[in-house]
Structure 1
Amino acid sequence: MKFSKTKKAAIVVVGIFAFAISFYGFKQDDKNFQIAKNLDIYYTLFRELNLFYVDDVDPTKLVKTSIDKMLESLDPYTNFIPEDDIEDFRFMTTGEYAGIGALISKQKGKILIAEPYEGFPAQKSGLKAGDVLLEVAGKSTEKLSTEDVSALLKGPANKAVVVKVQRYGQKKPMDVEIMREKIQIDPVPYYGMLDSETGYIRLSNFTENCTERVKMALIELKEKHGAKTLVLDLRSNPGGLLIEAVRIANLFVPKGQEIVSTRGKVKQWDKVYTATESPIDTIMPIAVLVNRGSASASEIVAGAIQDLDRGMIIGTRTFGKGLVQTTRDLSYNAKLKITTAKYYIPSGRCIQALDYTHRNEDGSVGIVPDSLISKFKTKKGRIVFDGGGVAPDLTVEDETLSNLATNLVTGSLIFDFATYYNSKTEKIASPEEFVITPEIYADFIQFVKGQDFKYESKTESELDNLLEVAKREKYYDISKDEFENLKLKLGHNLDQDLEHFKKEISELLADEIVSRYYYQKGAIKAALRDDSDVTKALDILHKPDGYAAIFDSGRIIKAN
């Protein structure tokens, strides 16, 4: 007898739940009875949906949705990984995949190359940022998502894929054959000297063996360039492997020093992680840069450096992700990434923000109620607090873009102008020297005006809301003239705003244009010139007394 796909799935589900029920039938305690009871309810509900729902249902999608919603009720980091997503999961931990080595995005309904990685197949084959992908392997991208196109671009190493691209300023599309390679994303996209004494290392992810890259950079900065102080940039680093965080902290603290511990339900899994190797440097003054995007392993490194008074932390409060995930194998090659413990840094405080009701829009720590905060002490007696994330020793608030600049970025005007500029300019000055001249900015203004760009300031948006409320509550007619005069005064003028916000827009333009010629390393170099966190770090590192004062035992470190 043959069965349909949905009936086969139902039979499998019957077998699974029948086993579960028989197993739990031997247990008499109420908890296991409740498990068996609810598994049975789930199966009968699934069966009835499959048999009687008005439209055809996809059993795999239904079960995946139910699993995702179930896990979502626990915490944001316990996830189901079906077999189809295993490669993406592996890339997150290793930073390695086989493909063309380029970041793609969807802008204005088109899939395009957002950034080709220097030295990888896409760049070596001549693809540029801004190239529109019309076809991949003979398949049109018109109705595909970025995930679909990414899957087409990936494949076995040493096997070619042909893409059809439309380049800005060229009438005819062109076919480009790209030989896929094993792509290993460098976790240290840039390191170098900020001045004659201060080294700089940007770590973007805690992937496998990233410590070796940081160690190599640190040794080179010290021995070849004479670095006497260091800025370690962990901003927007989402974390990764716990053991790599321990190993990186170990570069700066003595062997045997506790760096982090984990504690959870399964006590035999509890563990204390200590520095197991001889450090590279335990004396060099260090500034660790963090922001709201610094999470998990980043917070372990920053938190350990702070708790051990090994260096100063500069920026904003970190994300507040202090939960340990363990990967468990499931049937049919699926996996469960499950939260099994919490991180505790040397002072004894937990990184995790347990209160999800006060999170920022991006999920990072927002305002932490005093009732959820406990006091701890660093090695030298400074007072620090838990409640979620690592509060910096010196706070430098993230610079908020104007509404105009935000709209220029989200509307792809900055990106598109860089594509246009690159199409007509063969070369530019070095990343350290390139600037947006008055001529370039005037060209940008004309470019924006030619794109039918429209935007509304936040002030105008809020005023529109006020007018709606006033009309609804019948106050508008009483003060109509005042309302209209206010609307005229607060109305934006594109020419005036482009001039008023010229500095921040020029910085965005410079970073994007530099990336077209010098790729990611060049963009980082350009951005460092006007980096307020780096400026603050250099100011303190250059003042021995100021740096020493950071570790005064009377200091209280708290940020909300």
Structure 2
Amino acid sequence: MPQKSPKSIKNWLIASLSGISIICILAFSSPGDRFFEIAKNLDIYASVFKELNKFYVDEVNPNQAVKTSIDALLKSFDPYTVFYPEDELEDFLTMTTGKYQGIGIILAEINDTYRISFIEENSPALKAGLGIGDQILSVNGIALSDKPEADPSKLLRGQAGTKILVKVIKNGQTTPQEISINRETVQIKNVVYSGIIQPGVGYILLEDFNASAAKELKNALQSLKQAGMKKLILDLRENPGGLLTQAVDICNLFLPKDSEVVSTRGKVEEWNKTYNALNPSMEPELPLIILINNHSASASEIVAGVMQDYDRAVLIGQKSFGKGLVQVTRDLPFRTKMKITTAKYYIPSGRCIQAIDYQHRNPDGSAVALKDSNSKTFYTKNHRKVVDGGGITPDITVDKLTTSSFTIALQKQHMIFLYACYFRSNHPNIPPAKDFSLNTTEYQAFCTWLKKQNFKFESQIEKQLHIISELAKKDKSYANMEPSLQNFRKEWASNMDRELSAYQSDISTLLEQEIVQHYYLQKGMNEWSFSKDPSIREALKLFEQNNRFQSILAGK
């Protein structure tokens, strides 16, 4: 059978779209106006595509054009209803299963180079001697600088058991070397850290809810119990959520069998369902504190909210994100998929914590945020007051650390990361992660290094003065303001020494965290944080005050 030319494929696509539209009109005109409107607009869409294909000055790429139009359509609903074309299917499967075939690194584009910013423990890359800060030049002879042809993530991935040849400049060196690495199936961990952080107190950091989340958490609990755990801190901060079923299974670890966990309600009534704990609880009495913040979303909010509703755990941190929507995956033609929001979820108290109303929009098109005044009151098992909408409110609020515009600029321009690379190239070893800190001399070394970099910073006051100055130049009546503005500029001009001194504590913390990660990866970064993290310190303090802990859960 002869191959079709690109042009004939396009014409076939247009004809197919037109045919679908005609069928839709015939099929749906009788049930009602709504179906007729759908069919009519599909016909209009096919006609627009046909005219573009015939007459547009440049060649029309059908895949790209249709993908763009679908994305624009779905954007008008909510951020979680997403279309996955065939070439993005691997990313979708990685998100749901937590597995992919590759070497276990994440690259960051920094100053027109690609450096390793994260590396999985026990990954092929780590076994081959790669580390954070190493610069990847090419993969199998394809230079990563050859954009847009080279997509680093796709070049690094491939069938397990195959080899790739990576040209790399190791951190602190100047001469490239070629390293052969065997690709493997890499499992992205949900439980990225578990350990005893104080006598009797276990800590588990759960970062995701892919298909193995509940199993990993169960295994971590068993190990910690054997190590002498009597109390647990479960960290769900920065956890974006994932599979609803995993959230239910995790709640089941702490709740009795048959306890209602969550229910879903949507337009398709036969899909509405109540999920109950199906198994005997593994830890029905273990004292539990859960940490959340404003990036804890979806499945992590289900776990935190359910534990709060049953007065099973004390929540510490900041109000969670507020995603109370449920998505299901639908298979589409030609190996494409669509994740679509089908319902809202409700936890045992009856509340839904969805914070944004995507159905109603502001005049500028942005979604409407739920106002606190519209919140409804619900009650936990011990009759504690809780509210719906806007996320989960913790029982103990720990103020979020504020970040200055200067430290934000340091991070955006990768100065913290690059200095950690520089530091490691000059220090073969550092103390154990939990003991590491920068002294005054080492901080001054960073200040000296920074002044030699191409780092640019302009304070908000300076930016406003520039705006005022430009406005004054356009109006003659303000010409006499220029001398005063010049004096203001001198007074408020960014002074790097002043900024570095004013925010030394914050900058030192960021540097320590990044440096520790370069040496000890994720595990080390967590161990470093235990003595410095305000929410963890608050949790440890509460565990030492058992009467206070119990009174919070009792609603007294």
Please give the range of the TM-score, normalised by the shorter of the 2 chains: over 0.9
Q: 1:519 corresponds to which residue?
A: 521
Distance 1:108 1:200 in 2: 37
Determine the structure 1 residue equivalent to 2:322. Answer: 320
- Structure 2 counterpart of 1:198: 201
How many Å apart are 1:30 and its aligned residue? 1.2
Equivalence for 2:403: 401
Separation in 2, partners of 1:548, 1:147: 57
Kept in 1, the 8 Å contact 2:144–2:150? The answer is no
Q: What is the distance in 2 between the residues matched to 1:391 and 1:366?
A: 20
1:457 aligns with 2:459: yes
2:84 is aligned, of 81, 84, 95, to 81
User: Aligned AA for 2:281?
Assistant: P
Q: Letter of the aligned partner of 2:222 in structure 1?
A: I
Deviation (angstroms), 1:159:
0.8
1:343 partner SS: strand
Counterpart of 1:169 in structure 2 is 172
- Letter of the aligned partner of 1:281 in structure 2? E
Report matched runs for 1:334-483 at 5 Å.
334-355=336-357, 368-370=370-372, 372-469=374-471, 476-477=478-479, 480=482, 482-483=484-485
Structure 1 residues 358 and 10 mapped into 2: Cα distance closer, same or farther (>3 Å)?
closer
Identity %: 43
Contact 2:172–2:425, Cα closer than 8 Å, also in 1: yes
Distance 1:229 1:304 in 2: 19
**Preserved contact between residue 257 and residue 279 of structure 2 (Cα < 8 Å):** yes
- 1-side partners of 2:425 and 2:522: how far apart? 19
What amino acid does structure 1 have at the position aligned with 2:50? R
Tell me whether 1:489 sits opposite 2:491 in the alignment.
yes
Shift of 1:284: 2.4
Cα deviation for residue 462 of structure 1 reads 3.3
Deviation (angstroms), 1:480: 4.8
Q: Which secondary structure state, in structure 2, belongs to the residue aligned with residue 281 of structure 1?
A: coil
**Which position in structure 1 is the counterpart of 2:13?**
12
Q: Which residue of 1 aligns with 2:257?
A: 255
Paired amino acid for 1:513: I
Kept in 2: contact 1:321–1:353 (CA 8 A): yes
Amino acid at match of 1:270: N
Report the AA paired with residue 157 of structure 1: A
Give the deviation of 1:243 after TM superposition.
Answer: 0.7
Which deviates more, 325-334 or 415-424?
415-424
Distance 1:179 1:475 in 2: 71
How far residue 178 of structure 1 moved from its aligned partner, in angstroms, is: 0.7
Alignment match, 1:103: 106
Kept in 1: contact 2:232–2:287 (CA 8 A)? yes
Does 2:69 match 1:71?
no
Q: Distance in 2 between matches of 1:169 and 1:222?
A: 43
Q: Distance in 2 between matches of 1:111 and 1:64?
A: 28
**CA–CA distance in structure 2, aligned partners of residues 424 and 6 of structure 1:** 58
> For 2:352 and 2:59, how far apart are their aligned partners in 1?
48
CA distance in 2, matches of 1:314, 1:146: 46
Q: Give the equivalent residue in structure 1 for 2:65.
A: 62
Secondary structure of the corresponding residue to residue 536 of structure 2:
helix
Give the Å deviation of 1:466.
4.2
Amino acid at match of 2:37: Q
The one of 547, 550, 553 equivalent to 2:549 is 547
Query: By how many angstroms is 1:66 displaced?
Result: 0.7
Distance 1:190 1:263 in 2: 35
Instruction: Report 1:74-223 matches (<5 A).
Output: 74-144=77-147, 148-223=151-226
Deviation string for 1:352-408 (max 9, x for gaps)? Answer: 22335899xxx9x99631453222111111111112321212222321222221111
CA distance in 2, matches of 1:34, 1:317: 42
Other structure's SS at 1:332 match = coil
Superposed CA RMSD: 2.3
Contact 2:251 / 2:306 at 8 angstroms: preserved in 1? yes
Task: Give TM-score, length-normalised by structure 1.
Answer: 0.93
Q: Distance in 1 between matches of 2:470 and 2:97?
A: 53
1:467–1:476 contact (8 Å) kept in structure 2: no
Structure 2: segments with no counterpart, 5+ residues? none
Aligned length: 549
**Equivalent-residue separation in structure 2 for 1:466 and 1:111 (angstroms):** 39
How far apart in 2 are the matches of 1:250 and 1:472? 67
The CA distance in 2 between the partners of 1:473 and 1:552, in whole Å, is: 66
Where do 5+ consecutive residues of structure 1 fail to align? 555-560
With over 3 angstroms needed to count, the CA separation of the structure-2 counterparts of 1:77 and 1:190, relative to structure 1, is same
The code of the aligned residue for 1:376 comes to: F
The 3 A distance-change label for structure 1 pair 535 and 48 is: same
Cα gap change, 1:358 to 1:432, in 2 (>3 Å): farther
Greater mean alpha carbon deviation, residues 473-482 or residues 188-197: 473-482
Counterpart residue number, 1:558? none
Residue 436 of structure 1 and its aligned partner are, at CA, apart by 0.7
In structure 2, do the counterparts of structure 1 residues 320 and 481 end up closer, same or farther at CA, with 3 Å as the change threshold?
same
CA-CA distance at 1:317 after TM superposition: 1.5
Counterpart residue type for residue 491 of structure 1: A
| Contact 2:311/2:554 (8 A) holds in 1 | no
Aligned mate of 2:54, from 27, 51, 62: 51
CA distance in 1, matches of 2:42, 2:341: 22
